[in-house]
Amino acid sequence: MRTNSVQLKKIAYLFITVMPITIGVGILKFIFHYFGWEPIGSSLFPFLSSAFAGTFFILGFMLAGVLSDFKESEKFPSDILSCLYVIQQEAEILIKKGLSQAADMQSKLCTFIEVFKHNFLVTKNDRIFDLLDSFSDDFLSMDEKGVPPPFMARLRNEQANLKKILVRIKVIRDTSFAPGVYAVIEAMILFLTISLLLLKFESFGILEMSFVCLFFFLLFSVFSLLKDLDDPFEYQEGKVRINEISFDVLFDFGERIKKRIADRPH
């Protein structure tokens, strides 16, 4: 049920984003036809058809490129959860042995998830790296308390894995795939839009108008999809984007830790 709701929101977001542009271009085409502002004859239609095919080919090429990063990004929620789960389990064992520093570290896991959600994803600041580095101070205190080296080795290994994942997320988020190609695509879309507005149809009725709107809807939809796939971490509070990577499994884990801490006898 939840999955269906998310899919409906994504479809609604696509229509809200693309349909106003599509309708606007359709209205412009009607105005151009009504006033006779169509100097491009139908003899150039084969050339424009080739330009349309070339544009969609480049869009397909770009989609193939960004999909590799997107598929990698889909693994990050489970990878982060695995690291935090190991730290959580080790902390639970040390808490049962009466180590107070382990309880503080467990609370810091909740803070880590909150900072990841509200700061790293939404506001895109790097405070989470300072928080992750502060785990080293907790590990040092635990070393001084005589925690066995195998415990500390596992904790430090998961800390390093977390940092590696966060850096990879930052690189994917801040680096655009082939920005020069994006400029070419945007120029081609502008060229096709102007050309189709100026193209004279032998007859222009509901069928031709539907064709124009459908073409632009597909063109703008694919380009919008490409932009979303290029940055699967473009989160905004209160807005649903098409292809955000879902970290719900991580946030649910944070809620479970909070409940465990609240239920622990003091």
Residue 223 to residue 213: CA distance in whole angstroms: 15
Ranges in the chain, pLDDT < 70 = 1-10, 236-242, 265-266
Residue 23 to residue 146: CA distance in whole angstroms: 69
Residue 253 to residue 85: CA distance in whole angstroms: 8
Q: Is 231 helix (H, G, I), strand (E, B) or coil?
A: coil
Per-residue pLDDT tens digits for 44-59: 778 888 888 888 888 8
**What is residue 156's predicted lDDT score, i.e. its pLDDT?**
93
Helix 179-198 with 206-230: angle, nearest 10 deg: 170
Phi then psi dihedrals of residue 205, to 5 deg: -130, -155
**What is residue 1's predicted lDDT score, i.e. its pLDDT?**
47
Half-sphere exposure of 12 toward its Cβ, with a 13 Å CA cutoff?
8
Residues contacting residue 73 through CB under 8 Å, at least 6 positions apart: 169, 172, 232, 233, 245
Per-residue pLDDT tens digits for 105-153: 888 999 999 999 888 988 888 899 999 999 998 888 888 888 888 888 9
Residue 32 to residue 155: CA distance in whole angstroms: 67
Q: Is 7 exposed, middle or buried (0-12, 13-18, 19+ CB in 10 A)?
A: exposed
**What is residue 5's predicted lDDT score, i.e. its pLDDT?**
61
Please name which of 257, 260, 266, 238 lies closest in space to residue 111, comparing C-alpha atoms: 257
Per the structure block, which two tokens stand in for 102?
């382990």
Whether the full predicted model's pTM is greater than 0.85, yes or no, is no
Residue 12 to residue 25: CA distance in whole angstroms: 20
